[in-house]
Structure 1
Amino acid sequence: MTPPKLILCADHSAEARYLLAVIFESINDYELITFRSGQELLFYLGHNMPGQICGVILDKDMPMMDGVETLLEIRKRPSYKITPAIIYSTNENLGGRRMPLNLHGWFFQKPNNHTEARLFIEKITELFSCP
């Protein structure tokens, strides 16, 4: 059996983590692992084998370490220099923009409901193009 494609998500909002987790449960090939902060996600990366992660979703507006700061820390790790990443926010002006090339990712508007979350997940699984 093929292992699931891992996507990591750090978001301080329990609602947002739950919304994405519920939808990912219905997608057979993927496993979503959620974290309450960028620090928790970085700890996970430091204690698990690289190469299994298909992509990263980060909330732009997390306290203590926001999504951009978290992504900059991820990029310092050789195994994760080009792992695709999405930073999302409730800020409508961010949607669909590419990040600077060295960050290898995109900005998206944060989904607010089940329908938006399903569309968001469809889009990011295309962008992440996991093997």
Structure 2
Amino acid sequence: METSRLIFIVDDETDYLFLLQALFARFYPTYTVRFFTSGKALLNELHRLSEQPDLILLDRHMPEPDGHQTLLALKQHPAFQLIPVVMMSAQATTEEINGCYQAGVNSFLLKSLDIHSLKQNLTVLCQYWLELNLVARYM
């Protein structure tokens, strides 16, 4: 029996989290999704839980710690290094994107408010990171 994949989504924009929550409930009900409004809340929960998420979607632009700082904390902790992290942002410079890749992000996604584009992006993300891509910790 296949276990449900666990996704953690971190974004300080509650309207965007509400939109993502509605999309996951409607189109991706087999995934278990937890939402956080700050990098600090995510890191606290990761340290508290024994179960790790299969994927983290992380907003780049948030109050302290921002997405980049949260990413650095994730990649510096041995227990969290192999969790795939997809950074999200409504806008980003080439330098910001490159900095995220240098810090260890697995992918960078420009946010979309268009419901069809967002749904398509989520479908591709979930298929790749949760179904096709094998992370070393599962092998």
Normalised-by-shorter TM-score class: 0.7 to 0.9
Gaps of 5+ in 1: none
8 Å contact from structure 1 (residues 57, 85) kept in 2: yes
Q: With structure 2 as the length reference, what TM-score do the two structures score?
A: 0.80
In structure 2, distance between residues paired with 1:114 and 1:31: 20
Aligned partner letter, 1:122: T
| Correspondence for 1:78 | 78
Corresponding position: 1:105 with 2:106: yes
Aligned partner letter, 2:130: S
Task: Give the direction of change, closer, same or farther, for the CA distance of 1:101–1:128 in structure 2 (3 Å limit).
Answer: farther
Alpha-carbon shift at residue 102 of structure 1 (Å): 5.9
Percent identical among aligned pairs is 23
8 Å contact from structure 1 (residues 6, 53) kept in 2: yes
Alignment of 1:1-131 (within 5 A): 2-26=2-26, 27-50=28-51, 52-91=52-91, 100=101, 103-130=104-131
Query: Which of the two has greater strand per residue?
Result: 1
In structure 1, distance between residues paired with 2:103 and 2:87: 14
Q: For the pair shown, which has the larger CA radius of gyration, 1 or 2?
A: 2
In structure 2, distance between residues paired with 1:90 and 1:102: 19
In structure 1, distance between residues paired with 2:37 and 2:103: 25
Query: Which of the two has greater helix per residue?
Result: 2
Cα RMSD over matched residues?
A: 2.2
8 Å contact from structure 2 (residues 71, 105) kept in 1: no
| Counterpart secondary structure, 1:79 | coil
In structure 1, distance between residues paired with 2:62 and 2:103: 22
* 24-33 or 6-15: bigger deviation: 24-33
Gaps of 5+ in 2: 135-139
Alpha-carbon shift at residue 46 of structure 1 (Å): 0.6
Task: Give the direction of change, closer, same or farther, for the CA distance of 1:72–1:92 in structure 2 (3 Å limit).
Answer: closer
8 Å contact from structure 1 (residues 58, 87) kept in 2: yes
Q: With structure 1 as the length reference, what TM-score do the two structures score?
A: 0.85
The count of aligned residue pairs is 128
